[in-house]
Amino acid sequence: MGKPAIYITRKVPEDLLSKYENQFSIKMWEKEDERVPRGILLKEAESVDGLLTVLSDQIDEDLLTNAANLKVVANLAVGYDNIDLSAADKHGVVITNTPDVLSETTADLGFALLMATARRIVEANEFVKKDKWKEWAPYLLAGTDIHHQTIGILGMGRIGEAIARRAAGFNMNIRYHNRSRKMEAEKNLGAVYSSFEDLLTESDFIVSVVPLTEETANIFNKKAFEMMKSSAIFINISRGAVVDEAALLEALKSGEIKGAGLDVFREEPAGSENPLVGLQNVVCLPHIGSASVDTRTTMIKLCLENINGVISGNGAKTPVK
Ligand code: NAP
Ligand code: GLV
């Protein structure tokens, strides 16, 4: 019998694979910045024991039903909304993700995005580089204060709490909404549990770190933006589909809210075809929440450990429950 086979859907550093070369037959999509075509993914999935996937790969009934040997799908992300969990369960395929190892890095990015949006850092950078800086002026690129303001976090989980810790360092008032209360965060950070409605009406910064599910899809809709303060800044580092982007666009254009910082979009990659990208009061990032070299390397290693664990019969380190 040959070695178990693994297919990796995006180019990752070869040296991270060398440890497993004797054990597995490993094949990889050779492009780093181009997604594997669906047809190739389906074909590869038909014969392999393990898949290492990224967010743009849809792991659904169609794929799973034709993947007779597949035992494990290790998603290179903590979010797994690209995977049909019940279909995986039905086909006996273990799904793993990368929790914890990216929380601090993603919180760093989330807070940096909040700061960049509030203090107009990107605009200011362009201003200098495009030779527009002619003189100092009292309100030149004046933005919004962060310290002592109220931050409202939707999704006070691993990353949400890491953001709250950063907010505490800025003397912010912390509010959060989850389906269940986080007593530790309330005690340690002074975070105040709020209804979703109160979070929207009371916060100066509203940060979305909630997973994309049927319940949270479009949770930031027209009504939600109408409830926010006209001075509010909306930050989304979770998934684009938690937002009704047409409603956000309207809210930003009409002055219903002041600005937005977006790391994630409904359609990714996003570019000038998305009208949000063209707005001056929006800071856009290309879904780089966990993108530090160290964290991405740790995430890839964790995916490989998960694949190895399942195929060798020792179990996954971080299975999705
Ligand atoms: P987590 O620890 O599971 O936290 C998620 C939190 O959301 C939990 O506290 C959960 O609390 C709450 N929640 C879930 N469903 C909810 C609902 N319907 N209403 C209100 N609250 C709800 O997850 P995490 O590790 O912090 O990651 C969160 C998300 O961040 C991921 O799913 C992913 O989409 C996103 N992410 C993005 C990037 C990026 O690059 N931008 C990087 C990493 C992660 P309850 O269960 O009590 O409701
Ligand atoms: C990235 O978006 C993740 O879910 O890890």
Question: Is the pLDDT score of 141 beyond 90?
Answer: yes
* Residue 134 and residue 234 in one domain: yes
Q: Residue 264: CA atoms inside 13 Å, Cβ hemisphere, count?
A: 26
* Residue 165 and residue 111 in one domain: yes
Question: Is the pLDDT score of 321 beyond 90?
Answer: no
Q: How far apart are CA 67 and CA 42, in angstroms?
A: 8
* Residue 279 and residue 205 in one domain: yes
Ligand 1 centroid, distance to 19 Cα (angstroms): 32
**48 CB within 6 A, ligand 2:** no
Q: Given this model, what pLDDT does residue 91 score?
A: 98
Q: Given this model, what pLDDT does residue 59 score?
A: 98
DSSP state for residue 291 in the 8-state scheme: -
> Any idea which residue has 């020792």 for tokens?
314
* Residue 139 and residue 178 in one domain: yes
* Residue 115 and residue 81 in one domain: no
The preferred substitution site among 10, 56, 76, 102 for testing ligand 2, maximizing ligand atoms within 8 Å of CB, is 102
* Residue 109 and residue 244 in one domain: yes
- Decide if 250 contacts 272 (C-beta within 8 A): no
* Residue 85 and residue 232 in one domain: no
User: Which CATH number covers residue 88?
Assistant: 3.40.50.720
- Whose C-alpha lies nearest to ligand 2, atom 5? 77
**101 CB within 6 A, ligand 2:** no
What is the three-class DSSP state of 124? helix
Domain count, the chain: 2
Q: How far apart are CA 144 and CA 149, in angstroms?
A: 10
Helix ranges (DSSP H) in 13-58: 38-45
* Residue 73 and residue 165 in one domain: no
Q: How far apart are CA 17 and CA 26, in angstroms?
A: 8
Q: Given this model, what pLDDT does residue 127 score?
A: 98
Q: How far apart are CA 317 and CA 308, in angstroms?
A: 10
Write down the mean pLDDT value for the chain.
98
Question: Is the pLDDT score of 140 beyond 80?
Answer: yes
Average pLDDT over residues 124-131: 98
In this structure, the number of other CB atoms found within 10 A of the CB of residue 213 comes to: 12
pTM of this prediction? 0.98
| Among the listed residues 214, 209, 206, the one whose alpha carbon sits nearest the alpha carbon of residue 264 | 209
**309 CB within 6 A, ligand 2:** no
* Residue 127 and residue 274 in one domain: yes
In this structure, the number of other CB atoms found within 10 A of the CB of residue 65 comes to: 11
Q: Which ligand 1 atom is at minimum distance from the Cα of 155?
A: 7
Is the residue at 317 inside a domain?
no
Q: Kindly indicate the confidence band of residue 238, based on its pLDDT and cuts at 50, 70 and 90.
A: very high
Sequence-distant (6+) residues with CB within 8 A of 178 are 155, 156, 157, 160, 193
Q: Given this model, what pLDDT does residue 1 score?
A: 73
* Residue 127 and residue 266 in one domain: yes
Helix (H) or strand (E) holding 163: helix 158-169
The preferred substitution site among 10, 54, 78, 213 for testing ligand 2, maximizing ligand atoms within 8 Å of CB, is 78
Give catalytic residue positions. Answer: 239, 268, 287
- Decide if 166 contacts 103 (C-beta within 8 A): no
Q: Given this model, what pLDDT does residue 226 score?
A: 98
Is the residue at 134 inside a domain?
yes
* Residue 113 and residue 83 in one domain: no
Is the residue at 141 inside a domain?
yes
Is the residue at 319 inside a domain?
no
Ligand 2 centroid, distance to 77 Cα (angstroms): 4
What is the residue range of 61's domain? 5-101+293-312
Is the residue at 318 inside a domain?
no
Question: Is the pLDDT score of 85 beyond 80?
Answer: yes
Percent of the chain with pLDDT over 90: 99
Summarised one tens digit per residue, pLDDT across range 242-277 is 999 999 999 999 999 999 999 999 999 999 999 999
What is the per-residue DSSP string for 255-271?
TSS-EEEES--SSSS--
Q: Kindly indicate the confidence band of residue 217, based on its pLDDT and cuts at 50, 70 and 90.
A: very high
Summarised one tens digit per residue, pLDDT across range 94-109 is 999 999 999 999 999 9
Question: Is the pLDDT score of 312 beyond 90?
Answer: yes
Is the residue at 167 inside a domain?
yes
Average pLDDT over residues 24-48: 97
Is the residue at 271 inside a domain?
yes
Average pLDDT over residues 25-51: 97
Is the residue at 320 inside a domain?
no
**78 CB within 6 A, ligand 2:** yes
* Residue 218 and residue 153 in one domain: yes
